[in-house]
Amino acid sequence: MKKISILTIVSLVSGSLFAGNPQRVGSAGASELLNNSWARNSGWGNVNTAGVRGVESVFLNIAGIANVENLELAFSNTQWLSGSDITINSIGLVKTVGGSGALAISLSNFSYGDLIVRTEAQPDGGISTISPYAAIITGGYAQKFTESIFGGVNLKFYNQGLPNLSVSALLVDAGVQYHTGKDNRLKFGITLRNIGPSAAFGGDGLSIQATVPGGGYSQTFSSRSAKFEFPSNLVIGGSYDFYLGSDQMLTAAINFQSNSLQKDEYGLGLEYSFRQTFMARVGYTIFDNRIDRQQTNVHTGLAAGVSFMLPMSKDAGGNNLALDYSFRATRTPFLGTHSLGIRLTL
How many CB atoms lie under 10 A from the CB of residue 318?
Answer: 11
Question: How remote is the C-alpha of 126 from its chain's centroid?
Answer: 37
Separation CA 4–CA 199 (nearest Å): 37
- Report angle CA 92, 172, 168 to the nearest 5 degrees: 80
Position 21 scores a pLDDT of: 61
Separation CA 240–CA 243 (nearest Å): 10
Q: Does domain 2-345 have CATH number 3.90.1260.10?
A: no
Position 336 scores a pLDDT of: 95
Position 317 scores a pLDDT of: 65
Residues (pLDDT < 50) of the chain are: 1-17
CB 78 within 8 A of CB 59: no
How many CB atoms lie under 10 A from the CB of residue 203?
Answer: 14
Position 199 scores a pLDDT of: 94
**DSSP-assigned states of every residue in 105-148:** EEEEEEE---EE---SS-TT--S-EE--EEEEEEEEEEEE-SSS
Continuous segment of H or E residues that includes residue 36: none
How do the domains of the chain map onto residue ranges?
A: 2-345
Give the list of residues 6+ apart from residue 166 with CB closer than 8 angstroms, or none. Answer: 159, 160, 201, 202, 203
Separation CA 324–CA 340 (nearest Å): 6
Position 105 scores a pLDDT of: 98
Separation CA 67–CA 109 (nearest Å): 26
List, for residues 106-164, the tens digit of each pLDDT value.
999 999 988 888 887 888 887 888 899 999 999 999 999 999 999 999 999 999 999 88
| Per-residue CA distances from 51 to 3, 8, 168 (Å) | 17, 17, 31
Position 214 scores a pLDDT of: 74
Residue type at position 160: Q
CB 268 within 8 A of CB 257: no
Verify cis geometry, omega within 30 degrees of 0, for the bond prior to 197.
no
CB 112 within 8 A of CB 132: yes
* Residue 142 Rama label (left phi>0; alpha psi -120 to 50; beta): beta
Position 234 scores a pLDDT of: 97
How many CB atoms lie under 10 A from the CB of residue 253?
Answer: 28
The structure's pTM equals: 0.89
Specify the 3-state DSSP secondary structure of 316. coil
Residue type at position 93: L
**DSSP-assigned states of every residue in 257-290:** EEESSS--EEEEEEEEEETTTEEEEEEEEEE--T
**Across the chain, what does the average pLDDT equal?**
89
Q: Where are the alpha helices (DSSP H) in the chain?
A: 2-15, 39-42
Position 99 scores a pLDDT of: 85
CB 298 within 8 A of CB 285: no
Half-sphere exposure in the Cβ direction for 136 (13 Å, CA): 26
